[in-house]
Amino acid sequence: MRAVLDSSAGVASVLPEPLKAKAVRLLNEYRKGLHELHAPDIYPVETLNALAKAERQKRIAGGFALWRSLLADCPHLHPHMPLLARAYAISSQTLNAVYDCVYIALAEQEGCQLVTADDKIVKNLQARFPFIVPLASLP
């Protein structure tokens, strides 16, 4: 599979969540070369922010160490600046956050799927962007 990995799907691999096993499997298969994963270069910042938030909420401990382990399987990163015009256009049309739309713009540019654990993205955008794949739908 060739896909853009949304930060929510990456973070799911280290958080105590129902989708953890699917996220871990996807990243293990990526490590073995079975998948080609991409992300915008905002991915490290977004994943660290999500882990810091989870740590503040006392859902996890050692957020920074978890982040470092997550980056060991970091997708191929693409500069976000060239994606911003399209991300802004998608955001304006769909009323979704620009940072979420950067992932969509990258998937469009790369002609591949976008794997996300964000139900809001799936619910609000999958009909318009059928290449959005819920992490929950993966084996």
> pLDDT tens across 44-58, in order?
999 999 999 999 999
Q: Is the pLDDT of residue 18 over 90?
A: yes
Q: Which residues pair with 76 in a beta bridge?
A: 38
Domain coverage including residue 12: 2-137
CATH number of the domain bearing residue 77: 3.40.50.1010
pTM of the model: 0.94
Give the E-state strand segments of 1-131 in sequence order.
Answer: 2-5, 36-40, 76-78, 113-116
How far lies 24's CA from each of 2, 42, 61, 99, in Å? 17, 21, 19, 24
Q: Which of these, 71, 73, 63, lies nearest to 27 by C-alpha position?
A: 73
Q: Which residues pair with 78 in a beta bridge?
A: 40
Q: Is the pLDDT of residue 95 over 90?
A: yes
| Helix/strand/coil for 103 | helix
CB atoms near residue 39 (< 10 Å): 26
Q: Looking at residue 17, what is its pLDDT? A: 87
Q: What is the residue whose two structure tokens read 């802004």? A: 88
What's the order of all strands across the beta sheet hosting 36-40? 76-78, 36-40, 2-5, 113-116, 132-134
Q: How confident is the model at residue 9 (pLDDT cuts 50, 70, 90)?
A: very high
Rounded CA-CA distance 45/24 in Å is 20
Count of structural domains within the chain:
1
